[in-house]
């Protein structure tokens, strides 16, 4: 029975005859075409082929979608024996090249082209001179030396990428597509593909095609003259006549959502050759397609012996950084639907977008607005070589159980490029960069930490207060200069870390103690606090109304699996929010000089308040830059090209609200009185500024909004002082002081 089954099973060559497959490949490259809107035919691969033969291009990219459309059986063969099919494609290209060029040689572009041209001319001359004895030098060049092109395959558009953990032994030699994050990328170096030797006795040339990762150099000449004459000629490597290709090694790690609970992420080595090198950087989320192969290891016992276990690697044919692709798709292709655009154009879409961040979490609307601004970010400024960052840094500090970690987790999932870490689980080296020894070359190399991997993205650090002081000091440079300077193990360099840091921490005493000062509660150095653009203190204060709303919200989420519906607030999906954020980042709004006076007055008032108050945070000139960054981010959120006064008002309001969150209720009333008193103080200041002229209600409302005073409080203030005969409002809606 088993013999019959074995006899009936066809081998690969029987199932896919070599000549038949090569004929289909030739037909596909020469005849496949697409038709444009005008009905014109575009011979996609034939045009590529001609450019390669003229040395204008290097790589022939084969889309498996196109190949499957014509010859699905060839795709099946390629998926189970990729190395064999790739060699067939190269052989077909060799044949087509000979037909296309005929006796003409391709243009000479580099030294290897000149070397091949000279050797071919010498062969032709030798064949002409020794025609009667036959040409003994014909076909002595390896095919790899003569090929000045590469063949790569793009996977099917609907192919589902695998995780590193899903690669099994039965996929060895198969064409696979893997998704992961790049954690290490070596420098691009030349790798020998064909070694050319010259004999010092007979001047013969010997060619050695390198098939694996290592090779043994030939020592003695194997030409007929040396072997028969016993000349014992020694071979010397000829670099100019050897063929080298660009080589880079990547390490990819499976994504966090692909790792089972209780397991550690798995890592896969990826070898990238030729034009695919430099396709991605550490921190990129990549989709890589290639052939899954074993790495042969020699045993230590006997020469030529092999180990029973082998490491595996992926030889890449196609490298696609999916985060860049997603950004380009969202920004350039405009995949936001008409319904989504209609909702984004609504007047209240800013509040709706903020509500859509972690809608399962009740309240904290101002905190969510700040997170939205951090995701969008401001604009970097480069003035005379000095860079001013546009990324926003945030600190969420508060009592346990207020969903700080949940907010960080949602931002981590929402951001296109992000890293999530904790204070106790991170060291200074793990956050910045580590010096390691390259296993391939033996050289010392840098491996980026969480902040480097999150470059141009978000880094979420939970339990920030639990981090050791020595490790926390490592991020000072990143938070302001957006770089990491390294000077260790003979490596002196600067790495980019253009990242927004969003940290969550608990107060020094576990819960916020209103009897102690702000510095005692936060317990972080002023040099670090000044680098945060916004600091929110989230307090758990018992209140019957708020406690009831929170309990209802939590219960509804648990038995319905979604947040309770709110009138006029239907949250955006995460995909829509990503597209919207990508569209916002495409804007680069500028701030006009008309807003400078407002910024100057704001900074002077805050510095005066911090000087007069006994319980306030350290205020530095960085605060002014923080307001500018937030105003620019607000303009981006509203898809504007210029920062408006309303954007600056919102930035000032968030700044004021964040500072108020750090004060106790008693301190707020002692320093500035009740909200009604604050509104009346603003009215008196405006009256004095207007030289005792009536104050328009619109002017007072704008001033109150900048200070974070709501319209309801303003109305209560006007009604209270009107009833008491202090002020009155005329028909033009202007306010007069009765006792003036």
Within 10 angstroms of residue 114's Cβ, the number of other Cβ atoms is 13
pLDDT at 52: 93
CATH code of the domain occupying 160-320: 2.40.50.140
Distance CA 257, CA 27 (A): 43
Range 4-15 average pLDDT: 67
pLDDT at 317: 94
Range 574-580 average pLDDT: 82
8 A C-beta contact, residue 470 and residue 483: no
Range 720-728 average pLDDT: 83
Q: Which CATH class is domain 9-106+148-158?
A: alpha beta
Range 443-452 average pLDDT: 82
pLDDT at 297: 63
DSSP code of residue 488? E
Tell me what the pLDDT averaged over the chain comes to. 82
Rounded to two decimals, the pTM is 0.72
Distance CA 455, CA 434 (A): 16
DSSP string covering 633-667:
HHHHHTT-SB--HHHHHHHHHHHHHHHHHTS-HHH
Residue from 201, 238, 253 nearest 222 by CA: 201
What lies within 8 Å, CB to CB, of 495 at 6+ separation is: 432, 433, 446, 448, 452, 483, 484, 486
Cα angle vertex 238, ends 236, 242, to 5°?
A: 130
pLDDT at 601: 78
For the cut 80, the answer to whether the pLDDT of residue 232 exceeds it is: no
Pairing of strands 483-488, 235-237: unpaired
More confident residue, 666 or 479: 479
pLDDT at 149: 92
Identify the architecture of domain 673-737 in CATH. Orthogonal Bundle (1.10)
DSSP code of residue 257? G
Of 15-29, 135-149, 558-572, where does the model show the most confidence? 15-29
pLDDT at 617: 61
Domain regions of the chain by residue span: 9-106+148-158, 160-320, 673-737
For the cut 80, the answer to whether the pLDDT of residue 553 exceeds it is: no
Of 151-155, 201-205, 589-593, where does the model show the most confidence? 151-155
pLDDT at 290: 95
More confident residue, 644 or 4: 644
Distance CA 270, CA 312 (A): 9
pLDDT at 447: 81
pLDDT at 332: 39
pLDDT at 670: 47
Distance CA 514, CA 662 (A): 9
Distance CA 75, CA 80 (A): 9
For the cut 60, the answer to whether the pLDDT of residue 209 exceeds it is: yes
For the cut 90, the answer to whether the pLDDT of residue 62 exceeds it is: yes
Of 161-175, 251-265, 717-731, where does the model show the most confidence? 161-175
pLDDT at 287: 92
- Helix, strand, coil shares of the chain as percentages rounded to 5? 45, 20, 35
pLDDT at 674: 74
Q: pLDDT class for 3, splitting at 50, 70, 90?
A: very low
Which SS3 state, helix, strand or coil, does residue 713 take? helix
118-122, 275-279, 664-668, 700-704: lowest mean pLDDT where?
664-668
Pairing of strands 285-295, 433-437: unpaired
For the cut 90, the answer to whether the pLDDT of residue 646 exceeds it is: no
Dihedral of the CA atoms 354, 356, 361, 362 (nearest 10)? 60
More confident residue, 615 or 629: 629
């Amino acid at each position: 029975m088993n013999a019959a089954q074995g006899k009936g099973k066809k081998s690969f060559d029987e199932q896919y005859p070599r000549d038949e497959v090569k004929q289909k490949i030739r037909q596909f490259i020469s005849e496949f075409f697409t038709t444009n809107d005008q009905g014109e035919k575009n011979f996609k691969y034939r045009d590529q082929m001609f450019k390669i033969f003229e040395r204008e291009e290097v790589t022939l990219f084969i889309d498996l979608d196109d190949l499957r459309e014509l010859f699905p059986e060839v795709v099946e063969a390629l998926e189970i024996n990729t190395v064999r099919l790739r060699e067939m494609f190269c052989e077909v290209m060799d044949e087509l090249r000979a037909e296309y060029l005929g006796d003409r040689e391709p243009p000479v572009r580099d030294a290897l082209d000149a070397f091949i041209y000279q050797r071919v001319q010498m062969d032709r001359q030798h064949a002409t001179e020794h025609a009667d004895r036959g040409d003994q030098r014909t076909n002595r060049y390896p095919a790899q030396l003569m090929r000045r092109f590469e063949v790569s395959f793009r996977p099917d558009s609907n192919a589902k990428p695998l995780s590193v953990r899903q690669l099994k032994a039965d996929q060895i030699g198969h064409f696979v597509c893997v998704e992961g994050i790049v954690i290490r990328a070596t420098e691009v170096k030349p790798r020998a593909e064909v070694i050319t030797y010259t004999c010092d006795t007979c001047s013969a040339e010997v060619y050695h095609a390198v098939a694996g990762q290592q090779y043994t150099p030939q020592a003695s000449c194997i030409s007929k003259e040396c072997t028969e004459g016993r000349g014992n000629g020694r071979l010397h490597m000829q670099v100019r006549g050897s063929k080298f290709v660009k080589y880079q090694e990547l390490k990819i790690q499976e994504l966090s959502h692909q790792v089972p609970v209780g397991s550690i992420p798995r890592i896969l080595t990826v070898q990238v050759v030729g034009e695919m090198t430099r396709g991605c950087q550490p921190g990129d989320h990549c989709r890589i397609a290639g052939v899954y192969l074993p790495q042969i290891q020699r045993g230590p016992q006997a020469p030529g012996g092999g180990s029973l276990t082998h490491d595996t690697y992926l030889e890449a044919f196609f490298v696609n950084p999916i985060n860049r692709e997603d950004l380009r798709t969202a920004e350039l292709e405009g995949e936001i639907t008409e319904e989504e655009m209609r909702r984004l154009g609504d007047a209240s879409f800013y509040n709706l977008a903020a509500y859509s961040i972690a809608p399962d979490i009740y309240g904290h609307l101002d905190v969510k607005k700040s997170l939205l601004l951090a995701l969008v970010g401001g604009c970097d400024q480069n003035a005379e070589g000095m860079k001013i960052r546009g990324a926003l840094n945030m600190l969420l500090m508060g009592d346990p159980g207020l969903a700080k970690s949940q907010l960080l987790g949602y931002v981590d999932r929402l951001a296109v490029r992000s890293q999530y870490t904790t204070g106790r689980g991170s060291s200074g080296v793990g956050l910045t960069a580590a010096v390691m020894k390259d296993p391939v070359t033996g050289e010392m190399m840098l491996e980026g930490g969480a902040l480097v991997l999150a470059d141009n993205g978000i880094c979420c650090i939970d339990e920030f207060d639990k981090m050791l002081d020595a490790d926390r000091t490592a991020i000072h440079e990143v938070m302001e200069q957006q770089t990491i300077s390294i000077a260790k193990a003979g490596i002196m360099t600067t790495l980019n870390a253009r990242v927004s840091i969003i940290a969550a921490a608990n107060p020094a005493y576990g819960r916020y103690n209103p009897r102690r000062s702000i510095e005692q509660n936060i317990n972080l150095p002023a040099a670090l606090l000044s680098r945060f653009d916004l600091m929110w203190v989230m307090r758990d204060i018992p209140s019957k109304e708020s406690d009831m709303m929170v309990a209802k919200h939590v219960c509804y989420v648990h038995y319905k699996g979604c947040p309770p519906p709110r009138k006029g607030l239907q949250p955006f999906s995460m995909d829509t929010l990503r597209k919207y954020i990508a569209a916002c980042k495409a804007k680069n709004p500028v701030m006009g000089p008309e807003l400078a006076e407002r910024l100057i007055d704001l900074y002077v008032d805050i510095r005066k308040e911090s000087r007069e108050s006994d319980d306030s945070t350290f205020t530095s000139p960085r605060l002014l830059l923080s307001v500018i960054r937030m105003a620019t981010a607000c303009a981006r959120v509203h898809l504007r090209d210029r920062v408006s006064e309303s954007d600056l008002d919102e930035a000032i309001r968030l700044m004021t609200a964040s500072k108020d969150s750090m004060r106790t209720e008693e301190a707020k009333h002692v320093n500035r009185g009740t909200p009604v008193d604050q509104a009346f103080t603003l009215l008196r200041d405006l009256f004095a500024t207007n030289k005792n002229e009536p104050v328009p209600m619109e002017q007072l409302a704008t001033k109150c909004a900048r200070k974070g005073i709501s319209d309801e409080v303003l109305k209560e203030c006007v009604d209270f002082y009107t009833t008491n005969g202090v002020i009155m409002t005329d028909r033009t809606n202007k306010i007069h002081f009765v006792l003036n």
